[in-house]
Amino acid sequence: MKKNLFIMLAVLFAVTIASCKKSADAPAELQSVTAVTDPAKKVYNYIIGLGFPAHTIVDQPGEYIVEGDIRFPKDMVVPNGASTEQYYTGSLVSAANVANLRLYVDASMTSMISEINSAIGQWNAVANCNVNWVVVTSGTYDVLITNYNLGNGVCGQGTFPSGGKAGNLIRINKNYIAGNSFAQRARTICHELGHNVSLRHTNWAAIGESSAIAVPGVGGTDASSLMNGGQCGSGATTLSTNDKNAIAALY
């Protein structure tokens, strides 16, 4: 009788230990699921899927910065079904929003209002295209352009669109580009405006990106593209024919 009781107690003890171990493992399993569904992780995977090498992704509070001049908020809406081959992100500004892109000029950037107007004038002048930027100084806006110390080597940063809206922030390293020509200062702003409506760097392959989504009918390299990356202060100052064809094809 005592032997049977001992066996029963041993079995009960073993079951209890197994249950405790399972309960102890449960938080780890939950943590794994949480990591997969974390919005920031989704954004990171989206960036990798766009063809940006992991070593170019800088993790900062609330955002990832890629190649120095492209900003991805960690809470951005990641488009579904983005595939990977002028180039864009696979995520576009809606037709209603792109026709009235309200650019709010922060007080820190008012000294460059002429460069800003020159930059938006280039995009607005593209034929057969619905992109229309307007400068606003009060009220509701879609994109904020502000001065920001980005250190040496980075002229500005743009933000890719998500959820049918243009990227909501442009940072310009105003002091760093102050010594550039007017055309080059306007070029920096024009380049970042392009990112905010989805355009990628035209020379993505040459600067180490593994893939990009081609704008239908407007792929290939273009030495004259204003959207070439890595040309801070020395790139093309006017939109090339391919730049114009690309934005017109998208919008």
Beta strand ranges found along 153-232 (DSSP E) = 156-159, 169-172, 213-214
Percentages helix, strand, coil for the chain, rounded to the nearest 5? 40, 15, 45
- pLDDT recorded at residue 80: 73
Per-residue pLDDT of the chain (251 residues; tens, 9 = 90+): 444 433 333 333 333 323 333 222 222 232 333 344 589 999 999 999 999 999 999 999 999 999 999 999 999 999 875 443 389 999 999 999 999 999 999 999 999 999 999 999 999 999 999 999 999 988 999 999 999 999 999 999 999 999 999 999 999 999 999 999 999 999 999 999 999 999 999 999 999 988 899 999 998 999 999 999 999 999 999 999 999 999 999 99
- pLDDT recorded at residue 37: 59
Length of the chain: 251
- Is residue 162 within 8 A of residue 77, CB to CB? The reply is yes
- pLDDT recorded at residue 81: 55
Query: What distance in Å separates the CA atoms of residue 165 and residue 98, rounded to the nearest whole number?
Result: 8
Query: What distance in Å separates the CA atoms of residue 111 and residue 117, rounded to the nearest whole number?
Result: 12
Angle in degrees, CA 122, 126, 127, rounded to 5: 155
- Is residue 222 within 8 A of residue 242, CB to CB? The reply is yes
Q: Which amino acid, one-letter code, is at 222? A: D
- pLDDT recorded at residue 29: 30
What is the full DSSP assignment across 118-143?
HHHHHHHT-TT----EEEESSS--SE
- Give the helix/strand (H/E) hosting 242: helix 241-250
- pLDDT recorded at residue 4: 43
**What count of other Cβ atoms lies within 10 Å of the Cβ of residue 20?**
10
- pLDDT recorded at residue 137: 85
Domains in the chain (CATH in brackets) are: 38-73 (no CATH), 87-199+244-250 (3.40.390.10)
